[in-house]
Structure formats: structure tokens, C-alpha cells
Chains A and B, each alone.
Chain A
Amino acid sequence: MNLKDLFKPFTAWKNLLAEPVPIKKPLERQGAPRYRGFHKNDLEKCIGCGTCEEICQNAAIDMVPVEGEETEEGDSGLRPRIDYGRCCWCALCVDICTTGSLTMSNQFQWIDSDPDVFRFVPGADEKYWDDEELGYKKPDNYELNNLDRIEMEEMEPEKRNHTFLEIVKGFSKEQAIQEADRCVECGICIATCPAHMGIPSYIKAIRKGDVEEGLRIMYETNPLPEVCGRVCTHKCETVCAMQHRGEPISIRWLKRYIADQVSLDKYQEIMGTDNLEKREEKVAIIGAGPAGLSASYYLAMMGYNVKIFEALEKPGGMTRYGIPEYRLPYEELDKDVEYIKSLGVEFQFNTKVGEDITLEEIHKDFDAVFAGTGLHLGRSTKIPGAEHEKCYQAVDLLREFTQGKEIEVAERIVVIGGGNVAMDISRTLARLQNKQYGQVQLVTTSLESEDIMPADEEEIIESREEGITLKPGWGPKEIKVEDGKVKGLKVIKCLSVFDNEGRFNPKFDQSENDFFAGDMVIEAIGQGMDISYMEDVELTERHKVKVDENYQSSKPWLFVGGDIVKGPDAISAIADGHKAAQGIDNYLSSKGEK
């Protein structure tokens, strides 16, 4: 033993008078600014997608309805309730939160004798830390979601405004899987899709590399996937959970990807429709547009004998005669139609109901009728000069061009309208101008300012790229005609389009005006319907055919759907057709029982 070792430990006595180190008031101790303390949730931001519940490895989170949070498009109305008996404060829920609403405070003290209070809905159940600024938030450069879309390859503007070839190239397998990987499978989009397609399910099928499964899922709710995969208004993407902090999933392109991968000759085998059980009843469909095709598909699947009467020479309705080929190539539309045809659906073209055959005549031969004749009549602005022969209707021109007829293309053109039809005719004519004159001189003007233009955003962007001059926010005043020739369009400033109650009631400033020179003017301000073939059906106050939730009109055997009831858009028409098919089935089944 050495003496040093005996005495050295006593140097610890020097601490006898030292200041003690413990925290004097432990209850007041603040957590660090990044402390992973109690949860906070910004209920306004939260959309109830349930991704937090999905990632929680402790199963501590339940999605529950919360008072004051309504279920609406893009918001399930559910909010996370956390069970602090299970939570481990790993903050994965914060990291993955699609909206960034979920965060943590730096508070960590909560004492209560009732264990049940520790199961609470952050944000809804008021807590003392709700306004605490400090605490863990998802770090900026740390991301568990993939916010950016896989870019879609498109034909360059200089090339595409000379041709009617399809602009969008479509995903490769690798791209599709990467894009599908971004989906968090919350299913918020389903409610917004008019057809309520099983979007997360078919996206999952892409991830698994099983496009056949994807195709089956799509056909459950939508028999025109090639069409919708290209021209759908994709309302689903506007509510996608990913769009809150990043870009929405390219749902439309993924749908197209599935349909593109499978060749038509495999459809029946994949869908198991090579041997459908037949029924006695016959159903007639008027109009081979999306609504009619959809109804005919689902009726054929139920075994009905279905025949479609179409006024024009080919099927597709507006998707063929309205939408230009560069957006929807005819062969893709034909693919969807061919499959429906292969299920035994009969088509009779060039037969306009009301002219070539009456509705009553059809009713004699068929047990039920579905009418989805759409909106094919152009509306006029009725401004001075609109009756001039060089003032055309967009829908007429688009139809004639599709039919292969020669249409007039002036050197300078003015298009009136701010919707997709206006864009379609502008871009079609721009291509023809390029062909004929080597340059685009086309002005498209709309009442609506650019932020409220009804056309799809990409249509607006792409129109500009193709050399079209957009002049939003002007109201048409007069088509200037000199010596019997159209000289252009006089416009006045449009201050607002809708009144305070949201009704169409434009206000103009007469003092501010402009003039767009042009040798022809095209009106694309909306379409009307021709339902003169339906006699004695009840109409609504807005002069649409009155139907119940099964799309049954006042005549029990007559079902009506599509643009003449709702819309206008293809996916709503498809949804209508589907529901009407079920309505017809109910109607005929109950009739059969009697």
C-alpha cells in the first residue's frame, strides 16, 4: 500500500463547499429547441390522409372524426389521435406528414391521474403546448416523401406545332414504377374522382409490376382507360396528398401507362370476359360517347344485349370529334371501343335519333334506353358580326376536321373562349396555319383572367409554347366587318366574371378596349344540347333532363347521363354511364320479377 493512495482520495473534500450542480427548478426546465416533445397538429392544414398512422411502428395512432372538421374533397375530415401509452416519440409521423401539419413541441411534462386523457387528438383537444413555437419539426433537407414528379417526356413545342402526332410520350416501365412509388396510398383522391376509381390500388399494381392486375382494377370503374389516361381532367391530382408540399402523383399518366402496356388481344383473357353469361333483355344506347360506351360496357358485362345508335360515322363522341389527335390519337380511342365491341356490343352508326329513327321506335324494340348524346351545339356570343359566315363555332370546326373535311384556315385568326375547347381549336388551327402559312398568327381571348381560366393549366402553357397569343380578361364587343370581310374583334376590359354569389354576371370597363385583328373569328364559349328527340320528359329548372340518383328519367325505361346531365367532362360521363347501367339493371331485374 502506498501512502499517496491512502490520502489522495481525500482531495474530494475540496468539493465540500462547491456550488451544487443539479437543476434548481426541474419543472421549469425547457426542452431543447428540437426536443421531440408532445405533438401538435395544425387542423386546418391536416387533410386526414392517415400516413402518420401508416408509418407509426407502435400502432399508436388512430384516425378519428373530429368535431368541426368536415369531410370534403381533399380532406377526409379525420384527424390523428395519438395514444401516449404506445407512442415512443420517434417523430416518424412528423417526418412523413404529407401536409407538414404534424409537429412536436418541446414540452414534456403532463401529469394526470386519469390514464385515458393521454389518448388525445393533437390540435383538437386543447393543450397548454399548442402555441409553443419550439420543438421538433421535419428538418428542411430531410425528406421521406418524394415530392417531385418523374418528368414526362414531351415533344418539343417547335416540333409539335407542325404535327398532329401525340405530344406526350408516356412513361417507361422504370419511370412508371418510380412515379407509382411516390404514392402514399391514402386514398383521398378516390372521393374526388367522379368515377371513384381505385387509384391507390392500380398504382400499387404498377409498383408490383403487375399491369394486368392494374387493368382489371381500372375496368371496375372505368372502361375507357386509354381515353382517360390521356384527356381526363384529373381532378384526383388536385387533391393528391403529395401536392401540399410537392407535386401530385401523375395519376393520369400512370393510368395511361397501364392501358398502354397491355395489347388488346389479351384483354378478354386478363379480364376473364371471354365467356359472359347472356341475358334476355335488350338495352339501347343513344350516343357512342364516353357515357354511352361506359353504360354499354357495364350492361354487356351484366349480360344484356346492347346496341348503340350513333349519329356520326365513328364512335367516341366528343373524345373523337372534339379532342384533337395530338392529345388523344384515334387508335387509342379505338382500342377502348374495340374491347367493348368484343363483348358483343352492337354499333349502328350514321343514325341520328329523332331524324333517322325516333325514340319511341327504339323503345318498341328494347327494354330500356340510355341516352348520352352530349353537347354538340356551339353557343354564340351573339355580338354584332357574329352572324358573319367567317365566324365559326369551335365544335363544328373540330368535328369537320376530324371527319377529314377541308376547313378554312385564315392567315390571322381570333378565338373567343377560355376553356379546353378554345385551346383545342386554337392549337389545331395553329398547326394548320403552320402548314399553310409557315407561321402562327392566332389570338385567343377570354373573359376570364388567366388565374380563373377554365382551361387546364398545361393547355395554357402548351398553347403559348406553340406560338398562340393568349389575351385573357377581355370581353368580346363586336366583330368588325368591313366590305363584307371580317377584320377582327373589338374587345372591352372584363373586370369580373362572376358576382358575389358566384353566378355568371360579367362586369366590363367600357373605357378600356382593344382590337385583335383577324380574318376569321371562332367562338368557343360553351356548348348546348339537342334533346328534341326526347318528348315529354321532365326537365329541371336549368333545362336539363331531370333524373334520379340512378339516372332514371321521368319515363321509367329512359335513362339519361353524360354531359347533358352533368359535366362536361369525360370522366363524369363515364361515371354516369356506370351508374345508369346499374340503374337499368335494377329496373329490368325488378321488372322481370313482376
Chain B
Amino acid sequence: MKDLIQKLKKRFDVNDVVYQKDNQTYLTIAKDQAVSFITHLKDVEGFTHLVILTAVDWIEDNEFQLTYMLNNPGKKVDLGVRVLIDREEAEMESIHHLWKTAATYQRELREMFGIDFPGSPRVNEDFILEGWDDIPPYRRDFDTKEYSEQTYYPRPGRKTHDPAEYMKKKLYPEE
């Protein structure tokens, strides 16, 4: 794995390498190099299996982290390719030409995180959330609890007590 990373470092701007376990490594690549990097990995280095493509919302850094989990079935190693993109104008090049199934992932990311992949087939079609009119729900600033409280009505009659406060009320209310 270390050899491969050294080799990749010569050709690409590879950063933040983390050797998570024997057969799994994570690294960060700049957005503009990402697709050529991934293509290189697929076509040259044997990372032919796209395991997942997903995003992590680092709202505090105003960034989305796209994670392309690539697997080399021959060598049985994984490479987690992180691409950090701007959260405000979330857009990324599509990789559906490399893996057919990437289009599904990208469609989901478009819907759940609001990350656009121009050119990806049916990327703007509703995937899971038909008729959704709120912000993309997997963004960190979407509050599921608040949403459900606004959307559904709570069951009446539920009331709880904090043990410490309740004991104060009962045992030493004057203080």
C-alpha cells in the first residue's frame, strides 16, 4: 500500500494519507485532479470496484467531503479517496462513465446533500424523496427532530421529570 501511495504521490497531489488498516487507506485529492486520479486508479492500478460514493458534511469548515471508496479486487485493498468541495456551490464532475452504478450514487447525493453532478444520467430526478421541498435532508443543518415535530403532532399526555429537579421540588423547594 505504501508503495502505491508513493507512486501516486509522484503523479498526483495526494494529501492527508491515513493507513487505517492493513488493506485500507484514505487520502485526499484536489477536486480538479479527482476524476483523472480515479480514472488512473481504475484503469492502471486495478481499482475496478466502486464500493461506495458518499458525502460527509463538514459544515463547520463549509465543505463537503466526497468519499469514493475504491476497491482493487486483485490485490484486495481499498482506497478511500476524499475530495473536499465547497459547500455553497456544491458541484462535482460525474464518474458515471467509469461505473454505470455511479449514476445512482450521484443521483442520491444530489437529492440528499444537494451536490450537483452535471451530466450524470437522471441526476435531477427524484430518487427517494418524491415531492421534497425542504433543504437536502442529509445536510447537517437539517434538523430531523425539528422537522418531525413540525410535520407530525406529538402524542398528547407525555410528560417526564428530571430526577434531580423533581427531588429538589419535593425535598428542598425553598433553596
Contacts and interface: CB of A to CB of B under 8 A. Distances in A.
Direct contact, A vs B (beta carbon within 8 Å): yes
Interface of A: 48-50, 53, 61-65, 71-73, 76-78, 83, 85, 116, 119, 186-188, 190-191, 196, 200, 549, 579
A121 to B, nearest CB: 12
Contacts of A190: 164, 167-168
A549 B174 contact: yes
Given A188-B167, A190-B168, 7 more contacts: A63-B161, A76-B161, A76-B163, A76-B164, A78-B161, A191-B171, A191-B172
B164 A186 contact: yes
B168 A196 contact: yes
Nearest to A48: B163
B164 A187 contact: yes
A577 to B, nearest CB: 13
B170 interface: yes
A71 B163 CA distance: 10
Contact of A187 (B158, B163, B170, B171): B163
Contact of B170 (A49, A71, A85): A71
B167 A191 contact: yes
B160 A53 contact: yes
Contact of A116 (B157, B161, B164, B170): B157
B168 A63 contact: no
Contacts of B167: 71, 76-77, 187-188, 190-191
B163 A188 contact: yes
User: Which residue of A77, A116, A186 has the most chain B CB atoms within 10 A of its CB atom?
Assistant: A77
A52 to B, nearest CB: 11
Nearest to B169: A71
18 contacts: A50-B163, A63-B160, A63-B161, A63-B162, A64-B159, A71-B171, A76-B163, A76-B164, A76-B166, A77-B166, A83-B155, A83-B158, A116-B157, A119-B157, A119-B158, A187-B162, A187-B163, A191-B171
Contacts of A62: 158-161
Interface string B141-175: 00000000000000101111111111110111011
Contacts of A73: 171
A61 B159 CA distance: 10
A196 B175 CA distance: 9
A48 B170 CA distance: 14
Interface residues of B, number: 18
Given A116-B157, A119-B157, A196-B175, A77 B170 contact: yes
Given A71-B171, A85-B155, A188 B160 contact: no
A337 B164 CA distance: 31
Contacts, number: 67
B168 A65 contact: no
Contacts of B172: 191, 196
B50 to A, nearest CB: 32
Nearest to A221: B175
A116 B157 CA distance: 9
Contacts of A579: 175
Q: Which are the 9 A-B pairs with shortest beta-carbon distances? A: A187-B164, A62-B160, A76-B163, A71-B170, A191-B167, A50-B163, A191-B171, A63-B161, A190-B164
A188 B165 CA distance: 9
A188 B157 CA distance: 25
Contacts of A200: 164
A188 B164 contact: yes
Contacts of A549: 174
Given A191-B172, A196-B175, A549-B174, A78 B157 contact: no
B162 A50 contact: yes
Nearest to B158: A62
Given A71-B170, A196-B175, A63 B164 contact: no
User: Which residue of B166, B167, B168, B170 has the most chain A CB atoms within 10 A of its CB atom?
Assistant: B167
Given A71-B170, A85-B155, A49 B163 contact: yes
Contacts of A71: 166-167, 170-171
Nearest to B156: A116
A186 B163 contact: yes
B20 to A, nearest CB: 26
Contacts of A63: 160-163, 166
B143 to A, nearest CB: 15
Nearest to B145: A59
Contacts of A196: 168, 172, 175
Interface in B77-120: none
Contacts of B174: 549
B158 A78 contact: no
Contact of B166 (A53, A61, A78, A116): A78
Contacts of A186: 163-164
Contacts of B168: 190-191, 196
A187 B165 CA distance: 8
A77 B162 CA distance: 11
Contacts of B157: 116, 119
Nearest to A116: B157
B161 A64 contact: yes
